[in-house]
Each structure stands twice: as structure tokens, then as C-alpha cells.
Structure 1
Amino acid sequence: MWSIILCFVIGIELAIAADAPKVKVDLYYESLCPYCRAFIAKQLWPTYEKVKDIMDITLIPFGNAYKKNKNGTLSFSCQHGPNECIGNVIEACAIEHIKNFDEYFPYITCMEKDIVFGPEKSARMCAVNTTLPLADILTCSKGREGLNLEDQAANRTNSLIPKKKYVPWVVLNGEHTQKISNRALSNLLGLVCSTYKGTKPAPCSAKHHVIG
């Protein structure tokens, strides 16, 4: 009888965990922003490694760039110069062509670590010893497809409510507030764990809450 009760309780817990929606984290960023790079390296990536099963992450590489459309010719101007625009487009193309988040997020995280040495060099280095479609990514980044993808990122960024004031700009479950931003930038793991309504994974225990 006890085994039946135990199985019933475990079944309920599993159902609760399965039914709880993942915590949605949308990151609006730009490839050469030092604060964005630090957030990815010190908060987003470590949190993903620990509790990825309860997270749904979306990356939008545009940031504080400006979109220009002169006589039907689309172009972009970026806060940290032309290399940032190139980096943004390469990362947008990586998202499009790799498709699987568990494959393109490690790639983009790798790129962000060394992108100051050049976005294309970083893109090539991070694809070494992988089966990632580097040729397709670079072709995309140098053509109309890349511009269209960055245009989509621009439109999504410019449609934010409230309007983006800085980067990294973190949206949690469709909401951005200063409190959410402060917590995300200082302790994303704790924020994700406290937001998740299902059975908490082990890394959400108090002693693991702080990263950085």
C-alpha cells in the first residue's frame, strides 16, 4: 500500500513539474557591448548550464543599432562600429541556420568571448571541430538573408514595450521592469528559480542561488 501511495505522490510531483511552463528569458543585446558580453558569460550561460530544463531563452542581436532604409537599400549603424553590425548579423544567421538552441547558444557564447578580435575570426574559431554549418552562416551574413534577419531583430527590438533604454535588456515572461533587470544582471539563477512554479531542480537550492 505504501508503495502505491509513494508512486502516486511521485506521479503528482512529476505532473506538476511537467505542467509548469518554462521561464521565458528574452535577451536583447549587441555583439560588442561589454556589459552584454559579461551578462552572457557570467549570468546567462552559467544559469543555462544549471537549469536549462526550466528555461526558454530567446536571443535578439540588435541592441542600440539603427536601421536605415534609403531608396530600398537596407543598412545598419551600430553603437560600437561596423564590426558590431557584422557580429550581430553573424549571430542572427547562426540562430537561423543552426536552429537548435542547445547548439547555437554555446556557439554564440564562444563567439562573444573573443569577438573583440573580429567577428568573422571568432565565428570561424568557434566552429572548429564542430559540424556547425559555418559556410552557410557566413554566406547568410554577407547577403540579403542576413540583412533580412537583422531587420527582423530590429523590428522586434523597436517594438518593445516599455521601450529599451539600455543593453543588455532582459524580458522575463514577457515583462521588463527595473527590478527584473537588476535581479537578472546580478543573480539570474535566483531569479529564474524563484519565478519557476514547478518542482525546483537541485541547483535552485539556496546554497546554489548566486552566480558571479
Structure 2
Amino acid sequence: MLHDIMDVKLVPYGNAQLPSGISPFTCQHGEPECHGNMIEACFLHSVGRYSAFPVIYCMESAANILDAAQPLSICLQLHVPSMMWDSVTSCVKGELGFKLMHENALKTKALSPAKTHVPWVTINGEYTDDFQDKAISSLFNLVCKMYKVSKPPACTGAQKKLDTRLY
């Protein structure tokens, strides 16, 4: 599998703004986007990134992505039927959700160069337009091409779609 040769991180934050004082985060597409980002952050925290990616991909592919709760419940049933929605809800409604979002804000603000759009893909901590274009087109092919040592079997087989490091 490609996860043996790459470390993929998803940072749900996008173009949100840090809160001032006790006000909530402000997101480019309003409160529903902030809520969805927090759900994703809490879900990543609860199950770990590799278990979370199929569910988050499913959520992000939903027709109404801004109503994150509806696709999440369906995606959980499909990909992690043993996962209880209550554990994600308590994170989203509690202090942990805000802590995770704040951590994602700091990671996003620390990008160099600063992001100018989302998704923002970095490879080995570096952003280039070429990396961005190739990763969005086929992260799988890009990773296999860039890998310098003996290619894993996944790189010689059929193409697969993988998620990227997104901000």
C-alpha cells in the first residue's frame, strides 16, 4: 500500500479565521463549513487518519457537503459501522473540538509560503504549483514517480485514488 511510503495528513481548516476573544471560528462559507471542519477534526482525532480518510472522502463527495451531519451518519454506516456518532458529537460540542480547530489554524498559519487557495497540497513540506496540479490530478502517480527507492507493488499495479494533505 502507498501509506507505507507516504505520510498523508488532512488539516480541516480551509480559509477559516481564528476567533477573537470568545467568538467562534469564522469560515469562508459560513457556520456549516466550520461545523463540518470540526466534525472532520474530531473524527480524525477519534479514529486516526487512515481509518478516517474513507469516511471523510465520502462526506466531501456528498451532494450537500455543508450539512455535514447527514453525510457523516451515512458514511459512518458504510465505512465504520461500529463507530458511535456520540463520540464525535461530544468532541464537536466540547472543548476538544475547539482545541483541535485551533491546532489546525496554527498548522495552516505556519505554512510557508502561505496558502492562497484550498486545497493546498504540500509534498515533503514544500508547495509548488507543479506538485499541486499533479497531486490533484493523481496523487497516486505523483507519489510513485517521486519515490526514489524500490517501488512498492502498489506503484506497479492499477491506479488508485488517494486523498491529499489538505488545508
Scaled by the length of structure 1, the TM-score of the pair is 0.68
Is structure 2 residue 75 aligned with structure 1 residue 126? yes
Runs of 4+ in structure 1 over 4 Å off: 207-211
Is structure 2 residue 50 aligned with structure 1 residue 102? yes
Is structure 2 residue 30 aligned with structure 1 residue 93? no
Aligned partner letter, 2:152: P
Alignment partner, residue 113 of structure 1: 61
Distance 2:34 2:23 in 1: 13
Alignment partner, residue 63 of structure 1: 14
Higher strand fraction (1 or 2):
1
Alignment partner, residue 163 of structure 1: 114
1:11-36 CA-to-partner distances (Å, cap 9, x unmatched) read xxxxxxxxxxxxxxxxxxxxxxxxxx
Q: What SS does the corresponding residue of 2:118 show, helix, strand or coil?
A: coil
Cα shift at 1:84: 0.6
Distance 1:107 1:164 in 2: 25
Scaled by the length of structure 2, the TM-score of the pair is 0.85
Aligned partner letter, 1:200: K
Matched residues, percent identical? 37
Aligned partner letter, 1:139: S
1:95–1:104 CA contact under 8 A, matched in 2: yes
Aligned partner letter, 1:85: C
Higher helix fraction (1 or 2):
1
Q: What are the equivalent positions in structure 2 for 1:125-204 lying under 5 Å apart?
A: 125-128=74-77, 130-204=81-155
How many residues end up aligned between the 2 structures?
158
Alignment partner, residue 80 of structure 1: 29
Q: Which structure 1 segments of 5+ residues have no match?
A: 1-49
Distance 2:11 2:155 in 1: 26
